[in-house]
């Protein structure tokens, strides 16, 4: 069944692969005006859902938390740039995870000389949104090499945790996000051990105990979260059912299911549902189910979405390039702003994988395929979050969309037109 969305007629957007087969929508039929028309149809339903599912975040040893509204968590990765308050729409966020701090000599340390100034700027945004919480994220793809050593023994964990407590206090932060990529696995050539599986749990348990004591002293909640890989391998190398007891949220990185550097065929890098034609059978929905089966309550799962796309080259036109052999395109990593401003108006046609509920682009002339997220797919993911009782949405990363359209889509879906996340807490 072909789903056609034109500028002349309104259509209902499919929300499940069970309702409709995989189909395509061209950009000539679904341009910017069409995106907003589809959103106007979806918003009333999304807003009506917003009040129906109060969410709770709690952990085994901490003070009791109030029920939380849908979380909108932005990872901000300034790449050594000094942030300006005007660059951040603080009223549309509930939490900021600043990336990244590093680990050196077993202690957490700043990752860039500009970090101290940026922490001051981000904490200062609470003047605009008093409910905003600012965390530091430690690790990431390139700086996860020292986690295994830091978590190895009681003494090494104490050393790390003491440094975290001092770091959070010094910069007046609201907690810590751990992005260990990955326990028990090499990641970017990192040191790892079989013991990482148990030691990660112990590290989180001891961090939670320290935060519980510290937050009574500082008079504000101190949050603890992790960025979790979406694969079954990540679950196999962690004790998610035990870990979640000490966490406020599990930020599920439900993207990069397909990457040009590691996948020899093109594919949806952030599908909501599984496309039957996908050789990997991958999707965010599948990952959410697996994490729930591993013992993570849905109310603690934050669905991760990408503000960037992946590009494959030398892709044949069969099925407009989807699930076809391809190769990386040098220097072609595309954030959402670049996709909208340069690709959609420069020879690429937009198509819609209705089974997966995500868009993609294909240029027959360039033989290039682009997988990405847009406002339509985000609206469907926000509806999914509410329907499944998840904690909210996080995204990597803030600077990927200078237009602000993606964040506005999330904020409107959860809090309605004219409202902000800060006012909804």
The answer to whether residues 248 and 158 touch, using CB atoms and an 8 Å cutoff, is: no
- pLDDT, residue 417, reads 79
Report yes or no on 24 lying in a domain: no
Give pLDDT tens digits for 143-173. Answer: 999 999 999 999 999 999 999 999 999 999 9
Q: How far apart are CA 153 and CA 82, in angstroms?
A: 37
CATH number, position 170: 3.20.20.80
| CA distances in angstroms from 290 to 323, 372, 421, listed in the order given | 24, 23, 29
- pLDDT, residue 199, reads 98
Residues 358, 359, 361: CA angle, nearest 5 degrees = 150
Q: How far apart are CA 400 and CA 374, in angstroms?
A: 12
- pLDDT, residue 229, reads 98
Beta-ladder partners of 335: 308
- For the chain, the domain total comes to 1
- pLDDT, residue 257, reads 98
Q: Which residues lie closer than 8 Å to 152 by C-beta, 6 or more apart? A: 193, 195, 199
Q: How far apart are CA 410 and CA 223, in angstroms?
A: 22
Buried b (16+ CB within 10 A) or exposed e, 412-422: bbbbbeebbbb
Low-confidence ranges of the chain (pLDDT < 50): 1-64, 424-425
Report yes or no on 7 lying in a domain: no
- pLDDT, residue 277, reads 98
Report yes or no on 306 lying in a domain: yes
Report yes or no on 11 lying in a domain: no
Smallest CA-to-CA distance from 351 within 335, 328, 332, 370 is with 370
Q: How far apart are CA 22 and CA 32, in angstroms?
A: 22
Smallest CA-to-CA distance from 355 within 256, 413, 276 is with 276
Phi, psi of 224 (to 5 degrees): -135, 125
Report yes or no on 120 lying in a domain: yes
Residue 312 is part of which domain span? 32-424
- pLDDT, residue 67, reads 57
Report yes or no on 383 lying in a domain: yes
Smallest CA-to-CA distance from 283 within 254, 246, 324 is with 254
The answer to whether residues 391 and 53 touch, using CB atoms and an 8 Å cutoff, is: no
| CA distances in angstroms from 31 to 34, 100, 317, 370, listed in the order given | 5, 36, 21, 16
Beta-ladder partners of 304: 394
- pTM for the model stands at 0.85
- pLDDT, residue 425, reads 43
Q: How far apart are CA 174 and CA 77, in angstroms?
A: 18
- pLDDT, residue 423, reads 58
| CA distances in angstroms from 251 to 17, 165, 411, listed in the order given | 24, 22, 18
Enzyme catalytic residues: 181
Report yes or no on 25 lying in a domain: no
Distance of alpha carbon 277 from the chain centroid: 25
Report yes or no on 19 lying in a domain: no
- pLDDT, residue 419, reads 67
- pLDDT, residue 422, reads 76
């Amino acid at each position: 069944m072909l789903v056609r969305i034109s500028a002349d007629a309104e259509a209902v957007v499919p929300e499940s692969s069970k309702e409709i087969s995989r189909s395509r929508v061209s950009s000539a039929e679904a341009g910017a005006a069409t995106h907003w028309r589809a959103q106007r149809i979806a918003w009333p339903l999304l807003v009506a859902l917003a009040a129906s599912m109060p969410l709770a975040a709690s952990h085994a040893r901490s003070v009791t938390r109030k029920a939380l509204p849908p979380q909108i968590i932005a990872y901000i990765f300034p790449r050594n740039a000094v942030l300006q308050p005007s660059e951040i729409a603080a009223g549309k966020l509930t939490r900021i995870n600043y990336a990244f701090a590093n680990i050196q000599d077993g202690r957490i340390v700043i990752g860039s000389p500009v970090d101290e100034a940026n922490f001051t700027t981000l904490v200062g945004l609470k003047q605009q949104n008093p409910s905003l919480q600012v965390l530091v994220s430690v690790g990431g793809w390139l700086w996860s090499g020292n986690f295994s050593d830091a978590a190895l023994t009681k003494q090494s964990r104490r050393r790390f945790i003491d440094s975290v407590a001092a770091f959070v206090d010094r910069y007046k932060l609201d907690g810590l996000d751990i992005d260990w990529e990955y326990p028990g696995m090499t990641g970017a050539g990192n040191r790892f051990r079989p013991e990482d599986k148990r030691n990660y749990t112990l590290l989180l348990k001891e961090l939670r105990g320290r935060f519980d004591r510290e937050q009574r002293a500082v008079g504000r909640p101190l949050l603890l979260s992790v960025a979790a890989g979406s694969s079954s391998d990540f679950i196999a190398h962690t004790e998610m059912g035990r870990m979640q007891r000490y966490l406020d949220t599990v930020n599920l990185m439900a993207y990069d299911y397909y990457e040009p550097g590691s996948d020899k065929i093109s594919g949806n890098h952030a599908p909501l549902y599984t496309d039957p034609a996908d050789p990997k059978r991958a999707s965010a929905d599948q990952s959410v189910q697996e994490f729930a089966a591993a013992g993570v309550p849905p109310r603690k799962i934050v669905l991760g979405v990408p503000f960037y796309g992946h590009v494959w080259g030398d892709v044949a036109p069969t099925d407009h390039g989807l699930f076809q052999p391809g190769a990386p395109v040098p220097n072609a990593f595309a954030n959402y702003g670049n996709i909208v401003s340069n690709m959609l108006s420069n020879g690429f046609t937009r198509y819609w994988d209705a089974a997966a509920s995500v868009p993609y682009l294909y240029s027959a002339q360039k033989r290039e395929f682009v997988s990405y997220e847009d406002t339509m797919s985000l609206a469907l993911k926000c509806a999914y979050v509410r329907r499944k009782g998840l904690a909210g949405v996080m995204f990597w990363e803030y600077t990927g969309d200078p237009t602000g359209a993606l964040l506005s889509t999330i904020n409107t879906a959860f809090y309605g037109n004219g409202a902000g996340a800060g006012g909804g807490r």
